[in-house]
Structure formats: C-alpha cells, structure tokens
Amino acid sequence: MSLQQQIDTLRQDLRRYEYEYHVLDNPTIPDAEYDRLFHQLKALEAEYPELITADSPTQRVGAKPLSGFTQIRHEIPMLSLDNAFSDEEFYAFVKRIEDRLIRLPEPLTFCCEPKLDGLAVSILYVNGILTQAATRGDGTTGEDITANIRTIRNIPLQLLMDNQPECLEVRGEVFMPHEGFERLNQQALEKGEKTFANPRNAAAGSLRQLDPKITSKRPLVLNAYGIGIAEGVDLPNTHYDRLQWLKSIGIPVNPEIRLCNGTDEVLDFYRDIQNKRSALGYDIDGTVLKINDIALQEKLGFISKAPRWAIAYKFPAQEELTRLNDVEFQVGRTGAITPVAKLEPVFVAGVTVSNATLHNGDEIERLDIAIGDTVVIRRAGDVIHKLSAYYTTVAQQMRDRSFSLKLVLYVIRPLFVLKAKPLHVVLEAYSVQHSVKKRLNISFLVRQWILMA
C-alpha cells in the first residue's frame, strides 16, 4: 500500500467512525482506537504536509483567528416561520392550506420536528466538500462562520457518498445540549470566568468566536432540518425522505422527527414532545409542522417572510419577566439557610410562580441582584431553576446598587460555607436584610440556633 493509499484509507475509516458515533449514535470501535487512528493520520500529515487536504478529519481546527466576520448573501433566503400558540391557530393554518389547494390529499401528511432552540445555519458542500457556512442573519445576509462550523464534531467535512453533488446546501440548527452546557459553565466558574445564562446564548457566543480554537472546545452539535441549493443530485420528493437521505450521507438529523397523517396525529405529536421536553437533554420551544409533499410545498409557496406550508406550534413560554419584591431566608434543620426570592406572581409555562430559590452566596454574587430588580424567571419541567437579573431601563442600570445583595457577601458567605454553625446564620441573615434596608426576625433565628445547639 502506497503512502497516499494509507492516508486515504485512514481518512475514510475515520469519517465512517465519526458518522457511526455522531449521526447513528452507534459506535463500532472504542474511543481509544479512534484516537489511535486519528493520531496516526495526524503524524503522517505532519511528516508529509504536502498530502494534507482541507477535508481531512485532522483539519477541523487550523484556521487563524479572524479580525472580523465577513458577510455572505444567501442565494435562497432563509425565511422565518409563522407561529401558532393554540390548537385553534393550528387548525386555522390547516384551513388556509386547504383553501389554497384545488385537489386535497386525504389526509394531509406532515413532517413534524422539535423546534430546537439554537441558531439557524447554512452549510454549503461543493463536490462533497464543506466549503462555506453562514449564520441565518436577517434571512438574506449572514455572517461567514466556516472556520467555526468546521470544528463541530458531528458535521462531516466530506459527504459520505460516491457520486458527490456539484452543490448541496444543508440548513440546520446548531445548539448546545444540557450536559455540555453545564460542563462549560462549571469550567467557567472554576476559572473565575463569566457563565452563560442559557444553552442558546452559549451556542451563539461559541459560533461567533473569532478564534475557531475556542469554538472547538465548546460542545456544539448540528441537527439538519432542510435543504437549500441542490445541484447535480436527484432529491427525494418528500421532506421526511430528504431528511433521511441527509442522514444517510453523514448529516445528523433529530431522532424525534415523525411523519403524521392528519391533524389528530400532529396534535398527538405536539403533546408527546411537550411531555418529554424536560427529558430530551436539549432545549426546544415548540414543534415545527411541515407539509411533507414537496410538490404541495411548491404549490403553496411563500408569503413575504415565511412559507405557507410550515408553521411553528410553540409551547407556552418558559421564561417571563417579573419583579423581585423581597428576599427571605429559610433555615433548615441542620442550620443551613437558603435565600428565597419573593417575586411578583407571574404565569410561566402553565404555572403561577411567586418564589424561586437563590441557592447560595455564589449565586447571589453572580446575579448581583437587588430588591426591585426586574428578573427573568425560567421554568423547566416541574422545577423552577433559573432566575437572572434583567435591567430593562436605563434608570435601573444606572441606579445606586450599594444595597445590592452582592455587596454584603463578606458577611453572608460563612452562612453557606459553615452550614452547621447556626450562630453565623443569625449574624449573616441580619446583615443581608440590612443591605436591603430591612431586618429579619432575629429572635426566630436565635430560637432556631438554640434548639439545634
């Protein structure tokens, strides 16, 4: 076997193993074996740099940091979707479709997908090689993020097919799964760096890094949802089959995608995804419902900003704004005390929320919140798990924050570190309430301390 054949074989094997791992979720070799083959290829390319190609698995990270992002104009606009927020609005969408079609198939078939909460991107393959990638931007023009997209491990640098199309534009959503997001924030905390508020912000910040080496360390993934330009290839005639074809050539698609016949099955899909939402491991904010037949899509066409053949049926909001009215302190039987935010009641994801835990001193310091702030309250599943400051007015941003909770943490911190020291609870809780120009019922805390002593 010649040197070139050896390198080609390694590349083909590594591409296949990446596809099995990232797209099929069915790896056939141990991670250690993949690493061994990868380093073998890397060593050969280092010794013979003239044999390096842009689509080699070793070339995901190699570009120098950019000074700024250039603009890319989409040949086919990346349109937004109209929204539905109730069954009635979904039925109205279906009625509009029925009114426009002369001959109506019975029943209408929909390709139904989770609506991923990430960033829409366009990825262009020329002769099977990843050549260009751009953000959606305003739908007409986006930013060139090619170097960053190349670092995402589940996006192939070369399509897995023999007869490569002259040009294929894959459209999809880049997002950050919960596990990776939590790990990223934990690493930031350990380094004393700023954390991200949510996975979507983390994904957006990661994709817009000028240095692709930073993006390469972020746990981003892609799920494709459609095709733009396609030249030199015969595509399937349904949307669902096109997504499955993309999967067969190495492009990842979401595993929850379903074909639904008629409106009842569509609504069943919507409620099923809503019920399993908290267990998916990534953020979604609804479902995307598309007419499956491509010929019908073409007949229905578009309005100015959105297709007539698709709609986003969104879930009730999981984030709402409200006011932080007060902070109270709950004393546990071990002497530990937990700060609890008392909120102006707000309806979030079907539940009225008036309380949210502030967890501990580190969380208070990170948020830098004060009584009277407007905050974001977020609900996931059955648990309220996120509260963050949200400065809505210039006056609120510029106001004197000398009485913010953060500034008295030199006293409150032992409260959370020395959980079994109720005397600290008394002193620190008093100090925190003083910072918001109030007093706790100190006698109550003293009684708690005496009882536990």
Alpha-carbon span 113 to 239, nearest angstrom:
11
166 assigned ligand-binding residue: no
Q: Is 136 annotated as a binding residue?
A: yes
Long-range contacts of 253-259 (CB under 8 A, 24+ apart): 253/223, 253/224, 253/225, 254/113, 254/114, 254/116, 254/223, 254/225, 255/25, 256/113, 256/114, 256/280, 257/111, 257/112, 257/113, 257/114, 258/111, 258/112, 259/109, 259/110, 259/111, 259/112, 259/292
Residues 6+ apart with CB under 8 A from 209: 148, 215
305 is in an annotated binding site: no
Residue 272 marked in a binding site: no
Determine whether the annotation assigns residue 290 to a binding site.
yes
242 assigned ligand-binding residue = no
CA 256/CA 290 separation, integer angstroms: 14
- Residue 34 in marked binding region: yes
Helix (H) or strand (E) segment spanning residue 434: helix 422-435
Tokens of 145: 């993020």
Do the beta carbons of residue 168 and residue 146 sit within 8 Å?
Answer: no
Is 182 labelled as part of a ligand binding site? no
- On whether 33 is known to bind a ligand per the annotation, the reply is yes
For residue 226, the surrounding DSSP H or E stretch is strand 221-231
Measure the CA dihedral 260/266/271/272, to 10°. 0
Q: Looking at residue 349, what DSSP letter applies?
A: T
Contact assessment for residue 356 and residue 387, using Cβ atoms and an 8 Å cutoff: yes
Q: Is 42 annotated among the ligand-binding residues?
A: no
The label of the residue with tokens 């060139």 reads 144
* Amino acid occupying residue 134: A
CB neighbourhood size of 67 (10 A): 6
In whole angstroms, how far apart are CA 384 and each of 243, 320, 350? 35, 12, 12
Quick one: which of 378, 18, 68, 14 has its CA closest to 221?
A: 18
| Contact (CB, 8 A) for 145 and 312 | no
Would you call 195 helix, strand, or coil by DSSP? coil
DSSP string of 99-131, one letter each residue: HH-SS--SS-EEEEEEEESSEEEEEEEETTEEE
What CA–CA distance (Å, rounded) separates 284 from 278? 9
CA triple 140-143-146, angle to 5 deg: 125
The rounded distance, in Å, linking the Cα atoms of 111 and 333 is 53
Task: Supply the residues annotated as catalytic.
Answer: 115
How far apart CA 136 and CA 157 sit, in angstroms, is 20
Whether residue 113 is annotated as binding a ligand: the answer is: yes
Write out the binding residues.
Answer: 31-35, 80-81, 113, 136, 173, 290, 314
Write out the binding residues for NAD(+).
Answer: 31-35, 80-81, 113, 136, 173, 290, 314
